[in-house]
Structure 1
Amino acid sequence: MFLRLGEEIKVRFTIDEPMLRFHTQDMSFESEPGEFMAYVGPNSEELLEEKFSLLP
């Protein structure tokens, strides 16, 4: 997203199960149920955070 100085917009996106997959120790590609945190911000110190869960 590119915004002009002072411009604000609301952004919404979906994180689904395939986006949370990773290579496990046996090299299979899968996800695991649990709680996750998403961070968004202009830099590493000014962040908004949201917790979400992947259910089994």
Structure 2
Amino acid sequence: MPKIMHIITRLDMGGSAQNTLLTCRELAGSYEMVLLHGLARESGMTAAEHNRLEAGKLEAGKR
């Protein structure tokens, strides 16, 4: 199965993070999805885990 890696600077509870999670969830049926994200005050990890996405933190990412 082809793999897509999506990178976002912050996985917080804002609109861009919600859009990223929705996109990854919809593509997960046809692709192996990996989500990399930078640090954030609020975490969207619960949503990422709920959608069964492989996710990881980028320690060096800056905004």
Q: TM class, shorter-chain normalised?
A: under 0.3
TM-score, L = length of structure 2: 0.23
From the two aligned structures, give the one with the greater strand fraction. Answer: 1
TM-score, L = length of structure 1: 0.24
Structure showing greater radius of gyration is: 1
From the two aligned structures, give the one with the greater helix fraction. Answer: 2
